A and B are shown apart, each in its own frame.
Chain A
Amino acid sequence: MSHVTASKVEPQESPAVAADNAPVLEARNLTIRYGNNAAIKDVSFAVPDRQITAIIGPSGCGKSTLIRHFNRMNDFVQGVTMDGQVLYHGIDLYAPHVDAVEVRRRIGMVFQKPNPFPKTVFRNVAWGPVINGFRGDLQKLVESSLRKAALWEEVKDRLNDSALALSGGQQQRLCIARALALQPEVVLMDEPASALDPVSTARIEDLLFELRQRYTIVIVTHNMQQAARVSDYTAFLESGKLVEFGETDQVFTRPKEKRTEDYVSGRFG
């Protein structure tokens, strides 16, 4: 079902990355088009290992398109074409020999609106590993995933209840647990807290700090304060172009570009 075609370039040392952290995920001269309109134009940056990288920008700048490209979720959209590469440990994710299914096992995703399956809490977390051939102790895996998502204490007596009976914030943490159960290396989050109330949002932000120790996280957010609070690195996108990428501290307090400064100080967007 893949409509995207990739170009062949040898992996090289890429510029925008801190020296001691090798990039897990990298976009290189990435252009993404819907039909004739380019949603992402020549974007290059590298996502460092076990850090939280935030992608910010005004609405419509292409943040969702970009993050969905990292785990080949754009394969399901008709009419999408691309130039450039997305590299995962140096492997081009869009090379013809690469299986999108394998990609998504290693690069997980949490969506904006919580979307648990209409099944029990347990089945929600266990389903991903089971279909991917997991043969270990399922109970332990489910428990540890729910603990990592800070949900275990609240649902440990309700594992066989329907996931839809949980509150919005709980459902989103369940979706995080579900993604973590696959033991991914990278977790992509597309505005994970925007559909939630402030209390749930705060809990998810706390969660991110803990997850950072084991997972590389890329988070799209339209909430600048959230990006400033939570992330280590920030990419600022505008109309599909990468305006600036750097450590969050630097991007927010000493931005190199005027556009960046205008955006983070609230002058537009």
Chain B
Amino acid sequence: MSAESWPAPRAPGTLDRKHSRRWREEAIKGVLFVCAVLSVIVTAAIIAVLAGEAVAFFRHVPVWDFLFGTRWTPLLEPRSFGILPLVGGTFMIVVGAALIGVPIGLASAVYMSEYASTRARSIVKPILEILAGIPTVVYGYFALTFVTPLFRVVLPQTNIFNAASAAVVVGIMILPMVASLCDDALRAVPESLRDGAYALGATPFEVSTRVVIPGALSGIVASFVLALSRAVGETMAVTIAAGATPKLTVNPLESIQTMTAYIVQVSLGDTPAGTVEYQTLFAVGALLFAITLTANLAAIRILRRFREVYE
């Protein structure tokens, strides 16, 4: 190797920083940083956009009327902007979905982590992933063309558009999420805890319910909260199957409208920008965002605050 290939180490100044190299490194780091900070910018943008139009909306409609009014007819005379019917519709879907998704999801997680053989697990896990990956339009289709007719066979008074079918389908949608998160939480419980319980003569049922599940409680509860948050934000299945009639009711066989379905309805129509109708889109969107954000933050909080320490 000739001497020109390498600068001699003892020559003065050869250990010094090369400015061009430093500038290039800093420039690259800057570009990467901007891409990372984008997430904060997007969050801020969402809040800004929703808040901006919502504030304009609340200049026309008092907040109290909006949050606690029981009639939602923003597009028809006489206008009324009480959001409770939409919230009620969303609530019915969430409750129904929870009744299905939570028990089945948790049971699947318990089965996968405590009982299933490796082979069984290797079949169940992909199935749950597939269920999770099916687009929501497909679930909406399924609700309208399969679940509703099924309901109508058993309960003929069921409306073609009803909350129950949508709730069933949303439940199926969130159960893989519950199952996967609970499975992670259950598997995090160390084997030594189980061993201790078995050594005391406990049955698997007792070990699961008295030792493992309580030992993974924070993860399990967090998974419930996240799944419910997902159910609140669910759009297409409820738009297709639950109906477009905002009303406060406890009968799941009737047609209702959720917050998300309303937003879709307004977008599909021709609502000129700047009108109160257009602003309802943002007001409802803001409430929706507030609910899901609170739920997500609560889930993170639960995980962090109550995370079990096993050692």
Contacts and interface: CB of A to CB of B under 8 A. Distances in A.
Interface of A: 88-89, 91, 93, 97-99, 101-103, 106, 134-136, 140-141, 183, 185
Interface in B1-53: 1-2, 5-6, 9-10, 14-18, 21-22
A98 B16 CA distance: 4
Contact of B9 (A93, A99, A135, A185): A185
A165 to B, nearest CB: 28
Which of A99, A135, A185 gathers the greatest number of chain B CB atoms within 10 Å?
A99
A99 B17 contact: yes
A10 to B, nearest CB: 15
Contact of A136 (B2, B10, B17): B2
A135 B5 CA distance: 6
A183 B1 contact: yes
Given A99-B18, A102-B16, A102-B18, 20 more contacts: A89-B9, A97-B16, A97-B17, A98-B15, A99-B15, A99-B16, A99-B17, A99-B21, A99-B22, A101-B21, A102-B14, A102-B15, A102-B17, A103-B15, A106-B9, A134-B6, A136-B1, A141-B1, A183-B1, A183-B6
Contacts of A101: 21
Interface of B: 1-2, 5-6, 9-10, 14-18, 21-22
Nearest to A181: B1
Contact of A98 (B5, B9, B17): B17
Nearest to B10: A89
Which of B5, B18, B22 gathers the greatest number of chain A CB atoms within 10 Å?
B5
Contacts of B21: 99, 101
Contacts of A99: 15-18, 21-22
A96 to B, nearest CB: 9
Which of B1, B9, B17, B18 gathers the greatest number of chain A CB atoms within 10 Å?
B9
Nearest to B5: A136
A88 to B, nearest CB: 8
Contacts of A97: 16-17
Contacts of B2: 136
A97 B9 CA distance: 15
A140 B5 CA distance: 13
A135 B7 CA distance: 12
A106 B15 CA distance: 9
B24 to A, nearest CB: 12
B23 to A, nearest CB: 13
Contacts of A134: 5-6
Contacts of B18: 99, 102
Nearest to A182: B6
A134 B18 CA distance: 17
Contacts of B22: 99
A134 B4 CA distance: 9
B27 to A, nearest CB: 16
Nearest to A141: B1
Which of A88, A98, A106, A135 gathers the greatest number of chain B CB atoms within 10 Å?
A106
Which of B2, B10, B15, B16 gathers the greatest number of chain A CB atoms within 10 Å?
B15
Nearest to A92: B15
Contacts of B10: 89
A134 B16 CA distance: 19
A22 B265 CA distance: 84
Nearest to B13: A97
A91 B15 contact: yes
A88 B6 CA distance: 18
Contacts of A106: 9, 15
Contacts of A185: 9
Contacts of A140: 1
B176 to A, nearest CB: 34
Nearest to A186: B9
B18 to A, nearest CB: 6
Nearest to B22: A99
B234 to A, nearest CB: 43
A25 to B, nearest CB: 12
A91 B14 CA distance: 11
Which of A88, A91, A103, A185 gathers the greatest number of chain B CB atoms within 10 Å?
A91
Nearest to A140: B1
A99 B16 CA distance: 5
Contacts of B15: 88, 91, 93, 98-99, 102-103, 106
